[in-house]
Amino acid sequence: MLRAHSLLAAVLIGILPSVTPLFAGDWPQYRGPNRDGVSTETGLAKVWPAGGPKMVWSSKGIGLGYSSPAVANGMLYVTGVKEKKEFLAAYTLSGERKWQTEYGSAWTKSFPPARTTPTLADGAAFVISGAGEVVRVNAATGEITWSKNAKTTFGGQVGPWGTAESPLIVDGKVIYTPAGNQTAMAALDMKSGETVWKSPSLNDKSAYVSPILIKHGEKALIVGVTSQYIFAVSPETGDLAWTFNYGKESAPKRGGTINCCSPIYYDGGLFVSSGYNHVGVMLTLAETGPPSVAWTSPDLDIHHGGAVLVEGLLYGSNWINNRQGNWVCVDWKTGETRFEKTWQTKGSVVAADGMLYCYDEKQGNVALVTPSSKTFDVVSSFKVTLGTQQHWCHPTISDGRLYLRHGDALMAFDIQGAR
């Protein structure tokens, strides 16, 4: 399949960071080109064969992880944990491993497998270890260009699951959210690793959320999440634009949240969710000052599988308990629940070419779903049989392939339509 050249920045809502050219079909970071779980791919199959799409290749030995693969410039990159150390591996799109590099220390207490999805830019792969080390790795050779123990440098304070963040690249800067009493968010120079700016502190612990870049009106903002707060900073200076006490809004009795999902932004609205029966919240952003609450949803409380927005409807799975959840559709403008349906259990979701791709976290069932305001319409499904532990990876879609990882196993499936 031929792919036209574009810039990652052109995909990222018209804001032009200094990065190397990527392909239009690439998935160069966590949850895709715009971090919203939506692929730019077209020409994909609308139904799969019985038993699922063809597995093109698979590989073991990447190390344990919950992170997703990233694809850029004809290569795939994925992280994994082996013996308390984190590794980054590079593969050709035919499944040949080119190199594997140790880059940092894993979180060792609870759920230690790798969480960071690599971010590809400027001929490099950027990762954040479970211990809070921000690292630049040469994407061609696997050599470490620089490494900074950012958690220690910025006095970061983490929750019981350590650091679980994928780096955001904006205007030549690597964005990381250490939280703590020194700063909420920090920017490192992409080439040197030196500190560019530190935002003011929110005196809070970090969450398990990767920040997003948005353009609200004429203003670019980085939106981040800590344990208690949703906040926005200037990409140039790190100055706080606004804060919102989401912990108080969503869980007033608890006084805090366990945030794992990146927000979804569209047309002045910002959706945030937390799971654990904390309401999902739609914020309306103001020109200046803090946002206001447009609506709340008790039904769409997403645990850690993310949401996607397709033609004015939000899709995701909610939290009933740590093992159960239903699939929910909510109207973006009103917050009205259009449906709540049972399929397997909760899991992750991405969208491509007018279809939803849902990955059940318990048994590893993968469904191809037609978006609908009425029901959870499963067209085709299959079950992942390789790997161990939880199915917490978010799917990756690039150049007609569906990539999934399950523990130590990496798989590539052909999902192209008829050619």
Average pLDDT for consecutive 10-residue bins of the chain (419 residues)? 33 37 77 96 95 96 97 97 97 97 95 96 97 98 98 95 96 97 98 98 96 94 96 98 87 66 96 91 94 95 96 96 95 97 97 97 97 96 96 97 98 86
CA distance linking residue 337 with residue 346, whole number of Å: 17
**pLDDT value of residue 248:** 82
pLDDT of residue 419: 52
Residues whose CB is less than 8 angstroms from the CB of residue 17 and which lie 6 or more positions away in sequence, other chains included: 8, 9, 121, 169, 170, 171, 172
Q: What is the pLDDT of residue 7?
A: 34
Q: Are strands 292-297 and 308-310 parallel, antiparallel or unpaired?
A: unpaired
pLDDT number for residue 9: 36
Q: Alpha-carbon torsion 261, 76, 412, 43, what sign?
A: positive
CA distance 33 to 399: 13
- CB half-sphere exposure, 254, CA atoms < 13 A: 17
CB–CB of 100/66 below 8 Å? no
Estimate to the nearest angstrom the gap between the alpha carbon of 280 and the chain centroid: 18
Between CA 155 and CA 180 the distance in angstroms is: 6
pLDDT value of position 17:
39
The answer to whether 195 and 219 are in contact (CB under 8 A) is no
Nearest to 137 by CA among 86, 96, 93: 86
**pLDDT score, position 20:** 36
What is the predicted pLDDT for the residue at 150? 96
Arch. (CATH architecture) of 5-414: 8 Propeller (2.140)
pLDDT for 251: 61
What is the per-residue pLDDT for 16?
Answer: 35
The pLDDT value given to residue 1: 33
Query: What contacts 79, CB < 8 A, 6 or more positions away?
Result: 62, 63, 65, 67, 86, 87, 88, 89, 114, 116, 117, 118, 127
The span from the CA of 205 to the CA of 343, in Å, is: 34
Q: What is the DSSP letter of 380?
A: E
pLDDT of residue 25: 81
pLDDT at position 2 is 29
pTM assigned to the model: 0.93
